[in-house]
Each structure stands twice: as C-alpha cells, then as structure tokens.
Chains A and B, each alone.
Chain A
Amino acid sequence: NAGVMQNPRHLVRRRGQEARLRCSPMKGHSHVYWYRQLPEEGLKFMVYLQKENIIDESGMPKERFSAEFPKEGPSILRIQQVVRGDSAAYFCASSPKTALSYEQYFGPGTRLTVT
C-alpha cells in the first residue's frame, strides 16, 4: 500500500518561471492538504482540497499560487512567476476522513529552490 507520493523531490527554478508540484494521495484517500515549511520553521497550512473542490485555501498567498485536485490524476500546486522567497519545502498530506482531519499522512515533500 503505497504512501503519499510527491514529485519532483527537488525542483530548481529561476525567478519568473513556473513551478508545478504534484501529489498523489494514499489509496482510498480523497482529501489532500498542502503545507509549506521554511528552514527551522513549522509547517504552514496552505490549502485543503477534495476531488474537484477547494475546501479551504485561506493559507494560500493571494497571488501566483493555485491548487487543484482533479477527478483523475494527482493534486497540483502551481506557483507562477516564482521569487526567491518561494524557496521552501512543500509537503502534501492526505486523509481518509470526511472532514478536516488531524490524522494526516504526509509525503516526502518537494524542495523548491529559486535561483
């Protein structure tokens, strides 16, 4: 039973480029969460999605960031026109519960470096 998959594990982008981060939840999980973690900091909640539905995006920056979880395929976190401050580890988590759940299963993360 595969865990949460994220790819790529490492991503390097120049300022102004787009970054696409992918997350495949655990089998049977229909809820996905995205977090950002800066070095030596805790995780910051960004967005909570169900299939084809954004439940809570209150942690997402208003501009340049978007997320989706289509009916088929992985969840995508998209960052347009990246800046140096976007460099961080981005973690995806999934849960099987039908509402916001604190029992979540995390992927290995994508480390984004903006040069």
Chain B
Amino acid sequence: LAKTTQPISMDSYEGQEVNITCSHNNIATNDYITWYQQFPSQGPRFIIQGYKTKVTNEVASLFIPADRKSSTLSLPRVSLSDTAVYYCLVGGPRLMNRDDKIIFGKGTRLHILP
C-alpha cells in the first residue's frame, strides 16, 4: 500500500489559488490518487480522483506528473468555507480478500484567512 506524505497545515487567503501536494513515491501501477475534504464534525467528502496527467471538476483540479510519485490538489479562488482538512489517498480497485486497507493519514489542515 503506497504511503502518502502531505503538509500538516497550510494557510492562505480568500481569493487565492491553493495547491496542496502529496508525495507517494511507491505508488503501484494500478493505483489511483484520491482526495477527500473533511469539515469539523462531518464525514469526509470525496473531491476528486485521478490516475495521470490532469483531472478537473467543478470543485478542484488534480495534477499528476508523468512519474506519478506526487500529485497536487489545486483549489481555485478559495473562500473561508474551504477551511477544512484535506486527505490524499493512494490505492485503487482491489480483488476481494486482498490485504489492502484504506488509510487516511492526518491530512493537511487548510486554514483560509479573510
């Protein structure tokens, strides 16, 4: 299971673009990269998932370089309501009964300032 490393915390200001990078040096060939957002006292919310290059949806963009050993979640023009913890996970569809586990680390605490 690929281990991920991401900054513990980040601060930014309203209206700025925020980029959170996640390192996953031992990502496997069939692993996907998935990002979640969690607000206090709520369950995590799926944001975006990608395999390579760039993925964009209405919430964020995900940039994945060719070697796939890292990825960057990009949040355009953040607002105060984007203050949350952001988790990077690496893995993918597995056969049943395999010994893989879904691991959420401590994530990145993003604090948006006015």
Give chain A's interface residues, CB within 8 Å of chain B: 4, 33, 35, 41-45, 55-56, 58-59, 89, 91, 93, 97-109, 111
Contacts and interface: CB of A to CB of B under 8 A. Distances in A.
A105 B46 contact: yes
B105 A59 contact: no
Task: Say what secondary structure dominates the interface of chain B.
Answer: loop
Interface of B: 32, 34, 41-46, 49, 87, 89, 91-107
A107 B43 contact: yes
Contact of A93 (B43, B96, B103): B43
B43 A102 contact: no
B102 A100 contact: yes
Nearest to A44: B104
A91 B36 CA distance: 14
Nearest to A109: B43
